[in-house]
Amino acid sequence: MLDKATFESLFRSEFKGLCFFALQFTKDTDMAREITQEAFISLWVKRESIDLSRPVKTYLSTTVRNKCLNWLRDNKKFNKEILDIEGLLSEKTYVQPDRLVEAEIRDRIGIAIEELPVKCREIFILNRHENLKYQEIATRLEISVKTVETQMSKALQHMRNRLAEFLK
C-alpha cells in the first residue's frame, strides 16, 4: 500500500513533469496543473487497490493522459486529425528524463536528419525547427503544398525508422 511519505515524495518528484506532459494536450497551464492534481488525488483515493508491483509513474501518466483526452473531448478543443498527427492519441507514458539517453537521442536525431535527402531535410527543418506551416514552406521554396506533404511524410517515416528503439 502507498504510504503518505512515499506519496509526498512521488508528488514532489513527478508533479512538474506530469504537468508538462498534460500541457502537450491542453495547451493550458492551469488546466494541465488541475488535471495533474486530479491524477494524484485519484492515486491517493485508490492507494489501497493500486498494484504496486507495476510502476506508479505509469499509472499516473495514463491517468493524466486519459483525463486530458476527456477534457479535450468534453470541451471540443481539438481536431482529432491533429492529435493523431502529433501522436497524442497513442499510448504514451511520462518517464523522468535520463540526461545520457537525452544526449544520445539528440545525437541520433541529428544523424537521422543529416541522412535525409537535401530537399527533404530542408523541408523538415523548416517545419520542425522554424515552425513553418506547410503552406509557408511551399511559398518560400516555390513548390506545391502537396510536395511539402510528401517530403514531410518521407522525412517522418525515416525518423521513425531510425529512432524506432527510442519510440517503444
Query: Is residue 159 one of the residues assigned to a domain?
Result: yes
Which domain, by its residues, includes 65?
A: 4-86
Last residue of a domain, one of 20, 54, 86: 86
8 with 82, same domain: the answer is: yes
Last residue of a domain, one of 86, 109, 129: 86
38 with 108, same domain: the answer is: no
9 with 66, same domain: the answer is: yes
CA pair distance 135, 91, nearest whole angstrom: 30
> What torsion do the CA atoms of 26, 152, 121, 145 make, to the nearest 10 degrees?
-110
69 with 32, same domain: the answer is: yes
Number of structural domains the chain divides into = 2
Q: How sure is the predictor about 101, in pLDDT bands with cuts at 50, 70 and 90?
A: low
CA pair distance 136, 142, nearest whole angstrom: 10
Determine phi and psi for 97, rounding to 5 degrees: -65, 145
Q: Looking at residue 70, what is its pLDDT?
A: 85
Most confident of 35-44, 47-56, 83-92: 35-44
- Runs of H (alpha helix) within 87-133: 99-115, 118-128
Q: How sure is the predictor about 55, in pLDDT bands with cuts at 50, 70 and 90?
A: confident
For residues 84 and 8, the model is more confident at: 8
18 with 76, same domain: the answer is: yes
Q: Looking at residue 102, what is its pLDDT?
A: 73
125 with 58, same domain: the answer is: no
109 with 161, same domain: the answer is: yes
CA pair distance 87, 43, nearest whole angstrom: 26
Q: What is the mean pLDDT of residues 144-164?
A: 91
- CATH code (residue 138): 1.10.10.10
CA pair distance 6, 107, nearest whole angstrom: 36
Contact 68, 61 (CB under 8 A): no
82 with 121, same domain: the answer is: no
Reported pTM: 0.47
